[in-house]
Amino acid sequence: MRALPRVQPRITTAKAPPPLHSSLTVYRCVSKPAIPQVTATMAPDTEKFALSEVPVDDYDGEKLGRTGSAIVGSIDDITILDQLGYKPQLHRNRSMLTLLFQSLAIAAIPYGEGSPLASAIYGGGPLSIFVGWLIVLVLDECIAVSLGELASKYPTSAGPYYWSFQVATKGKTVLSFITGWTWLIGNWTITLSVNFGFASLLAGTIAMYHPDWVAQDWQLLLIFYAICIITLFICTFGNRYLPMVDTICAAWTALSIVVILIALSVKADAGRHSTTYALGHYDTSFSGWGGFTFFIGLLPPAYTFSALGMVSAMAEECASPALKLPRAMSLCVPVGGLAGLFFILPLCYTLPPLEDILAAPYGQALPYIFYRVMGTPGGGLGLMFLVLVITLFCSISITTAASRCTWAFARDDAIPLARLWSKVNHKHGVPVYALLLVTLVQLLLGVIYLGSTSAFTAFVSVGVIGLAVSYAIPIGISVWHRRREVSTARWNCGPVLGPIVNVVALCWIAFEVVLFSMPTALPVTKVTMNYASVVLVGFLVISAIWYAVYARKAYKGPPESDGIAA
């Protein structure tokens, strides 16, 4: 047990602040205007809080500004984090809305649904696109709500592995280690999939103007590298502006969907379909899966919302996270789902021939559809520009969340060189080394693309599987123990609806893992085979070796906590 000792604040009134040692990290805290402000400082060689008074010159009666290493937060925020066993290190500059906007930026509806759209064509076409979207919305909302309950009880950036540790009664250290590594692998590889998908989308867009140009593997890899490095710099040096970036992303996405809706509906150069075709056409001839074909069409919407739990890693950068975080998570699916309908409906009504879409360059259906429906490369490029900007926003938001996950897991000494990756740069307010690690992992995995595209595709698919498994473990443990912990959370579904939602979420996750482990089409060859499950097992074997060699003795799990009660 490594929970931090609870210390009652000692309020004193002094004319001038006592000198502080340069190695101390200062946390400005405030409760009410009538009470003098106190500063919680962390002594260099101990985890105990020491309190001293520091005059505040930027106090606004509710929160404090941030200067140098000062951390914005109220007394309640710091008390909550203390109860969870951690000290505040990150700048709390996010609200419920900016968390929602970040989760929507990660979902990136036009990119999330549009980039893997070819899978929906293999899955039967318009029926799978439309009906599949509606089905996945309901199922993924069950996951979002289930995670929201846990996040409300334990609002920390540690996320699923912390939740597993707290709700389990036996074997909690091993369970949290397994959860943490699947969570970490999922974060790394889903970020990889977004950034490499961005590179492929760029190449597909260029192909509209230059149909004869075929990007070599090394060229696509360099585009991917450029995206990773640009994203790294933005996330490192622009952290204070990222909530505003997420807000701009939400506005840009809404505007883009409206523009795409109008442009496709008005132009429809490839022809307009009847409602019967647009919402009900179902062709099983492309995949070879027969009656199972429809479920292949669930892949794009499932991929879109697969990372909905990643925003939990931002818990320590939000005020009152026990309420704001679960609200943001639960709103992501319905808000994103409604926006998605306005995106997919014009697509369904104006689709070019399905067999032509499957022959699109680089497997990117969206640039080809825009080009054919608009009738000119310029028209297609205009719509693709909107989507590419959304994808850039997605890269920034998902890289930020992945870095916080990495930082939190390193903070609990669960990965090699944990001390390095858990350091926070207080000048920029970000875990810079964790950001570097996330980027480095992507750059190294990208090299695999030069040797085998099918092996690389497996790394992309394993992102969804890793995240899904890390969601299922704490939800499953909670259900097994009859929701003992989440029943007292400030935000929960109650004793009747809660268990139903949890069980539906677990069933969907189990099916989702199978779905993302299957090849899209039959017959299967060594090139079209889906190696995602093999890659995930390989990652877990590596983590098991690390546990046996070192972490078995060093990793004691996150701090014990009773969580935040209602």
How confident is the model over 472-521, as pLDDT tens digits?
999 999 999 999 999 999 999 999 999 999 999 999 999 999 999 999 88
How confident is the model over 6-51, as pLDDT tens digits?
444 434 444 444 333 333 333 333 333 333 333 343 433 333 333 3
> What is the Cα–Cα distance from 479 to 483, expressed in whole angstroms?
5
Closest-CA residue to 313 (of 94, 11, 538, 113): 94
β-sheet with 49-52: strand ranges across: 25-29, 38-42, 49-52
Q: What is the band of 209 on the pLDDT scale with cuts at 50, 70, 90?
A: confident
Whole-number pLDDT of residue 4: 43
> Please, are residues 71 and 327 in contact by the beta-carbon 8 Å criterion?
no
> What is the Cα–Cα distance from 561 to 546, expressed in whole angstroms?
26
Residue reference for tokens 């990150």:
90
Whole-number pLDDT of residue 215: 87
Q: What is the band of 56 on the pLDDT scale with cuts at 50, 70, 90?
A: very low
**More confident position, 399 or 527:** 399
Q: Residues with Cβ < 8 Å from 51, sequence gap 6 or more?
A: 7, 9, 10, 38, 39, 40, 41
How confident is the model over 333-345, as pLDDT tens digits?
999 999 999 999 9
Residue reference for tokens 């230059």:
210
Whole-number pLDDT of residue 75: 78
How confident is the model over 99-145, as pLDDT tens digits?
999 999 999 999 999 999 999 999 999 999 999 999 999 999 999 99
Buried b (16+ CB within 10 A) or exposed e, 452-471: eeeebbbbbbbbbbbbbbbb
User: SS3 of 476, please?
Assistant: helix
Q: Give the mean pLDDT of 234-259.
A: 97
Fold for 96-554, please state it.
Amino acid/polyamine transporter I (1.20.1740)
Q: So where are the chain's domains?
A: 96-554
**The whole model's pTM is what?**
0.86
User: SS3 of 97, please?
Assistant: helix
